[in-house]
Amino acid sequence: MSSVARLVDALKRQLKAKGITYAELGRQIGLSEPSIKRMFASRNFTLDRLEQMLNVLELDLAALAQAASDAPQLISRLSYAQEEEIIGDVKLLFVAVLALNQVPVEEIVSGYRITAAEATACLLKLDRIGFLILKPNNKIKLLVSRTFSWLPDGPIQSWFRNEAYGDYFDSRFDGRHEIMRLVSVMLSESSCRALQERLQQVADEFSLQHQDDARLPFDQRRSVTFMMAARPWMPRAFQALQR
């Protein structure tokens, strides 16, 4: 994790520790809540804005830097071997996904065909793998960062590609909470890089929204799968027409 990312995460922890919401922070420094969220998602702060936030927290930059250095280093990806162990058991994979979404064990047991003993056993395995720390009363502390992702073309992404992609796209995407856009354009090299940066920012904002909504009761949240991709590509039927 970069130094900037550690500082931003430390800033988030300080806000949470003092019970200051993004809305309240925005009110005190003259910004809207969406603007605050975008700023944290993009990790793009001016020094003036950072100083304003530190004033709200009654901290200086040295104290924030110390808080960042004292924090445990979270991982953004697992190793190939760790993913292979998780993918070897569908229930283990499912509990890992639910843990990422901060679903309590009691909700796992009541909402899915997983017993309390099975849920605990899965959490113990995930603790041993290094995915989380299992605390008393089945409370967990994730050891993965907010920007955690599965390995590109690793065991878990391969599983989703083989098992889930067909089912995922078997929809008209016109229902409630559904959307799909297919945009095919011709871009310069610099525009391609800008697109990739923007998509990464959107993914970070989506992850940030997930963290905010994790505070809500379980019955007020629903599973949403967000997929985005961009690469040089042309349908094979079109490729056949190229000279």
Q: Count how many residues are written for the chain.
A: 243
Examine the pLDDT at 195 and tell me if it is beyond 70: yes
**What are 132's strand-pairing partners?**
142
Q: Where are the domains of the chain?
A: 3-70
The Cα 16–Cα 8 span in angstroms is 12
Q: How confident is the model at residue 156 (pLDDT cuts 50, 70, 90)?
A: very high
User: 3-70, which class in CATH?
Assistant: mainly alpha
Q: How confident is the model at residue 37 (pLDDT cuts 50, 70, 90)?
A: confident
Q: Is 148 helix (H, G, I), strand (E, B) or coil?
A: coil
Nearest to 207 by CA among 37, 72, 49: 37
pLDDT value at position 71?
A: 60
Whether 75 and 148 have beta carbons less than 8 Å apart is answered as yes
Helix (H) / strand (E) containing 213? helix 189-213
More confident residue, 119 or 43: 119
What's the mean per-residue pLDDT of the chain?
A: 87
Residue 123, both tokens = 């959490």
Nearest to 51 by CA among 41, 43, 60, 38: 60
Q: Under the phi-then-psi rule, with left for phi > 0, alpha for psi from -120 to 50, and beta for the rest, what region is 202?
A: alpha
| 3-state SS track over 126-137 | HHHHCCEEEEHH
The Cα 9–Cα 5 span in angstroms is 6
- pTM, two decimals, is 0.63
